[in-house]
């Protein structure tokens, strides 16, 4: 029973420490600015997109997606037709609310 408990604890630790293949500024934005910490609760994976400006698609655990674009002065969150600049506090709050709606679908 003790061995089983150790194995389960190690697996839980591995899941919590899961590394994502994405730039650190993207990870930091999602965790700290968009309040998606820990990421394993919300994000399944990232996919780099061949766009100008460069962007990443964020796949949520429930299958929904949104895009993050690198703009010259800020990161841009694009959900459907809506766009939100992360460095603008009001737009960031709207982005958080919109992502929350995506997570609830």
Task: Read off the pLDDT of residues 39-48 as tens digits, 9 standing for 90 and up.
Answer: 888 998 899 9
Q: Which helix (DSSP H) or strand (DSSP E) does residue 57 occupy?
A: strand 55-60
> According to the model, what pLDDT value does residue 16 have?
54
Is-contact 3 22, C-beta < 8 A? no
Rounded to an integer, the average pLDDT of 28-45 is 90
Q: Taking 70 as the threshold, does the pLDDT of residue 53 lie above it? A: yes
pLDDT in tens, 70-92: 988 889 999 999 999 999 999 99
Surface-to-core class of residue 77, CB atoms within 10 Å of its CB (0-12 exposed, 13-18 middle, 19+ buried): buried
For the record, the structure tokens of 75 come out as 């990161």
Q: Report the predicted TM-score, pTM, of the whole model to 2 decimal places.
A: 0.77
Q: What are the strands of the beta sheet with 43-49, ordered from one edge?
A: 43-49, 55-60, 65-70, 75-79, 82-85
């Amino acid at each position: 029973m003790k061995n089983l408990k150790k194995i389960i604890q190690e697996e839980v630790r591995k899941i919590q420490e899961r590394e994502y293949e994405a730039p650190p500024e993207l990870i930091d934005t999602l965790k700290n600015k968009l309040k998606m910490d820990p990421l394993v609760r919300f994000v399944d994976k990232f996919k780099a997109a061949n766009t100008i400006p460069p962007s990443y698609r964020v796949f949520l655990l429930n299958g929904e997606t949104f895009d993050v674009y690198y703009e010259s002065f800020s990161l841009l969150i694009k959900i459907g037709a809506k766009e939100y600049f992360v460095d603008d506090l009001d737009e960031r709050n709207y982005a958080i609310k919109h992502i929350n709606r995506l997570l609830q679908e």
